[in-house]
Structure 1
Amino acid sequence: RAAVRAGAGLLACGLAVLALTGGPEPGGPGAARRAVPPLPGAIPAGSDVPVAYRGMIETAARRCPEPEVTPVLLAAMLKAESGFDPNAARPETGEYGIAMWTPSVFEAWGKAATHPGAKSYWDPGDAIAAMGNYVCWLDQQIKHRGLTRGLPALVAAAYRTSDKSVVAAGGVPERVRPHVDKVLQYLGGYGG
């Protein structure tokens, strides 16, 4: 037993030293380090997506299991909605904040924010978290109704109108085509 304890102690010490020093380089001394590829749909480092919102967007997208709901899709939608302006407002249509929420729709989806207490469509973190959940749900609804081609465009259209409008039109309704084209242009610019 003493030998087993001593061996376990030496192993633990050795692992601690490796953890603190970083251990030997894989492939031996001088081996080239390989860059870890970004996750699919990650926001490119040099893009115009404000750094302050990147983590929020990444988190919102990663919470959705649907492969089409990527950080770059959410970023393109936010850019088309408000130009990333958390103070954006369209009083004539009742839309506010970075994700241009109407208060009543935000009320239903604002629960996506992870902090306790009141949520606000003016708060970028709350608005983006809610957008991620809503976009994920829209994607699932559209696919469930048999539309699978061009899902990023369909989701962007549904966010502007509704999943029912997209399904009824069998695609992007003409009235939101200019907006959806703008989302797709931004998406392409982000590499999505």
Structure 2
Amino acid sequence: MPRGARGPGGPGTGRPRRRLALLAAAVAAVPLAAGAFALLRTGEDPAAADGGPPSARVSGAVPADSDVPRALRPVLTRAALQCSEDEVTPAFLAAMLKAESGFDADARRPGTDEYGIAMWTPSVFKGWARDGDHDGDKSSMSPPDAISAMSDYVCWLDRQYKKNGMQRELPALMAAGYRTSSRTVVEAGGVPARVRPHVERVQRYLAEYTR
């Protein structure tokens, strides 16, 4: 869960043409995130009736035979397409979620005040909240909302690192920043030692999802 965030810093208004084309395809072919999550516990694929999810056509899509819940995949695709940075992909977001909660929408760590599939701290979530399932509410316990907000936050982290000349191993830096803060990572000049085991898990899962 992100710590030390100062406020929303989501993606800018400009997107490369490739992203615009992919976004158009996603909007046309994927049901609303709310519909996708409604089927999460049933194991059904909400995009199957439309000939398959657009994630198959998106760079960094989750492999069809991965352990990522099928109903989460269109949610991940839509969230990744919010960001124009190439490093923020469905596979990266999936790796983050697996490391954070194991895809458990009801995950709770009261001791560290972290909750939900993306392990948001409620007070921090407020600054990044998105209505990912279009139900008129923004909740860190709603997977579409939490994942959409996660995408915005890691997108902002990606840009902060690039501004500071940190161009290498951006997925690792984003995972570290989500666990700590952008300032902590920049001041450390890389992944802080205390979160390295967590970051290594994210990297391992990302390798599995991008094989």
Cα distance, 1:118 vs structure 2: 2.3
1:156 alignment counterpart: 175
Counterpart of 1:104 in 2: which secondary structure?
Answer: helix
TM-score normalized with structure 1 length = 0.78
Contact 1:112 1:133 survives alignment (8 Å)? no
Paired residues, number? 156
Inter-partner Cα distance in structure 2 for 1:138 and 1:57? 18
Correspondence 1:108 to 2:127: yes
1:186 alignment counterpart: 205
Counterpart of 2:86 in 1: which secondary structure?
Answer: coil
Inter-partner Cα distance in structure 2 for 1:114 and 1:76? 21
2:51 alignment counterpart: none
Correspondence 1:65 to 2:84: yes
The structure-2 alpha-carbon separation of the partners of 1:175 and 1:148, relative to structure 1 and needing over 3 Å to count, comes to: same
Equivalent positions of 1:13-52 (< 5 A) are: 38-52=57-71
Query: 86, 93, 116: which one pairs with 1:74?
Result: 93
Contact 1:95 1:102 survives alignment (8 Å)? yes
Cα distance, 1:142 vs structure 2: 1.2
Inter-partner Cα distance in structure 2 for 1:156 and 1:60? 16
Letter in 1 for 2:116: G
Correspondence 1:84 to 2:103: yes
> Comparing both chains, which one has the higher relative contact order based on Cα–Cα distances under 8 Å and sequence gaps of 6 or more?
2
Letter in 1 for 2:68: V
Inter-partner Cα distance in structure 1 for 2:62 and 2:103? 14
Cα distance, 1:173 vs structure 2: 0.4
Cα distance, 1:52 vs structure 2: 1.4
Correspondence 1:169 to 2:211: no
Q: Indicate the larger mover: 116-125 or 144-153.
A: 116-125
Contact 1:113 1:125 survives alignment (8 Å)? yes
Runs of 4+ with deviation above 2 angstroms: 111-118
Alignment gaps of 5+ in structure 2: 1-55
Inter-partner Cα distance in structure 1 for 2:135 and 2:72? 20
Letter in 1 for 2:149: A
Inter-partner Cα distance in structure 1 for 2:197 and 2:169? 16
Question: Quick check: which has more Rg, 1 or 2?
Answer: 1
Letter in 2 for 1:175: R
Cα distance, 1:113 vs structure 2: 3.0
Inter-partner Cα distance in structure 1 for 2:168 and 2:183? 16
Letter in 2 for 1:50: P
Inter-partner Cα distance in structure 1 for 2:141 and 2:57? 30
1:53 alignment counterpart: 72
- C-alpha distance after superposition, 1:70-96 (max 9, x if no partner): 110000000000000000011110000
Alignment gaps of 5+ in structure 1: 1-36
RMSD between superposed Cα atoms in Å: 1.3
